[in-house]
Amino acid sequence: MSPGTRAAADALLAELDIDPPTMILGSNAAIERGVELGLGVGLISLDAAAERIAQGAVTVWACPGTPIIRPWHLVCYAGEPLGPTTLALVKSMVGPGGSLKATAEGRRIFRS
């Protein structure tokens, strides 16, 4: 779980005024497998768990305060030009009709 994800989970638990025992697992797959094995419930992105949900391996429970809405970021290595496929993906996500907004740095990439 990334530090941002952990902070979001901790904030949700505090907002719900609950303090359950917690475990930090290193990947979405580990969280899914832990839930499948009965370790408890997990907090994971619906996108990350979509396949397991579709298979019926895990179940989504409604919880106050979820889904947690967090910003997404596209990142790339500094100083390296984007390849044509990557640039097409970025333009489809950030361009007209896209759901993401370009930062000043992102706008520079489009100009270069």
**So what's the pLDDT on residue 2?**
57
**So what's the pLDDT on residue 8?**
85
Domain ranges of the chain: 3-55, 73-112
- Asked if residue 59 has pLDDT above 80, the reply is yes
Alpha carbon distance 72, 48 (integer Å): 14
- Residue 12 near residue 66, CB atoms below 8 Å: yes
Q: How confident is the model at residue 66 (pLDDT cuts 50, 70, 90)?
A: confident
The position carrying tokens 């106050």 is 64
Give pTM, 2 decimals: 0.59
Alpha carbon distance 80, 98 (integer Å): 23
Q: How confident is the model at residue 15 (pLDDT cuts 50, 70, 90)?
A: very high
- Region 92-104 average pLDDT: 70
**So what's the pLDDT on residue 19?**
92
- Asked if residue 98 has pLDDT above 70, the reply is no
Return the exposure string of 37-55: e unless at least 16 CB atoms fall within 10 Å of the residue's CB, then b. eeeeebbbeeeebeebeee
Averaged pLDDT score across all residues of the chain: 81
**So what's the pLDDT on residue 104?**
66
Q: How many helices (H) and strands (E) are present in the chain, helices listed first?
A: 5, 0
- The three-class DSSP label of residue 85 is helix
- The three-class DSSP label of residue 110 is helix
Alpha carbon distance 15, 18 (integer Å): 8
